[in-house]
Amino acid sequence: MAEKPIDSNHEGPVRHCPEKAVTKTDLRSWFIREVLPLEPLLMHFLQKNWRNRSDLEDFRQEVYENVLEAAEVARPEHVKPFLFVTARNLLINRLQRESIVSINVVADLDALGVAVDEPGPERGALARDSLRHLQAALESLPPRSREALVLKRVEGLSTREIAARMGISEQSVANHIARAVRALAERGEPLSSRSEL
């Protein structure tokens, strides 16, 4: 299933997200639960194999598009290999288009150990790390964003209450929180700067 031709046209038409997927929360929760936790690994893989840092986010998004499209039809039994095969296919496709030859891509897949799926320990390790990373990400947020997020998510205040407490508009609170959440979502990315890797 992962071997189907993948259109990696970077600016190309994006595929329709079926109504079904939107109303049915199934695909969404699968994506959040099974795919997103693998993002740090995915970004690590993409960074190693794609020199153009400026479009890594687009690349990642394209991988997710392909994964979601395939998963809507049938959920892969082993998510990790499926994710990386999808990423590899896109990468190969792109490298071919740009006439860059790279054998490393394939070799790297093996190096990552994604051929064998061991969800138990792997996920356990990710879970253990994630709280620590989450905390680190929280600490690196701009103070106002951090304050808004903590008041909302940890203290459970409403946006209105936070606005009153921080002395800013509700819109500003919402923007602070959204930016904070985006920053948390990105926490898997600066792998190159992480000492433990």
Tell me which residues touch another protein (CB under 8 A).
Answer: 11, 13-19, 21-22, 24, 26-28, 31-33, 36, 57-58, 61-62, 64-66, 68-69, 72, 75, 127-128, 130-131, 134-135, 138, 149-150, 152-154, 156, 158-159, 170-171, 173-175, 177-179, 181-182, 184-185
Whole-number minimum distance, CB 155 to another protein, in Å? 9
The token duo for 41 is 């690994």
Name which of 47 and 102 has its Cβ closer to another protein. Answer: 47
Rounded CA separation 34/76 (Å): 10
Whole-number minimum distance, CB 157 to another protein, in Å? 12
Name which of 82 and 108 has its Cβ closer to another protein. Answer: 82
Name which of 49 and 66 has its Cβ closer to another protein. Answer: 66
Which amino acid would we find at residue 154? V
Whole-number minimum distance, CB 161 to another protein, in Å? 12
User: How crowded is residue 40: how many other Cβ atoms within 10 Å of its Cβ?
Assistant: 20
What does the DSSP 8-state code read for residue 13? P
What radius of gyration, in Å, describes the C-alpha atoms of the chain?
A: 19
- Which residue do the tokens 């499209």 mark? 69
Whole-number minimum distance, CB 153 to another protein, in Å? 5
Residue 72: CB partners within 8 Å, gap ≥ 6?
Answer: 18, 20, 21, 27
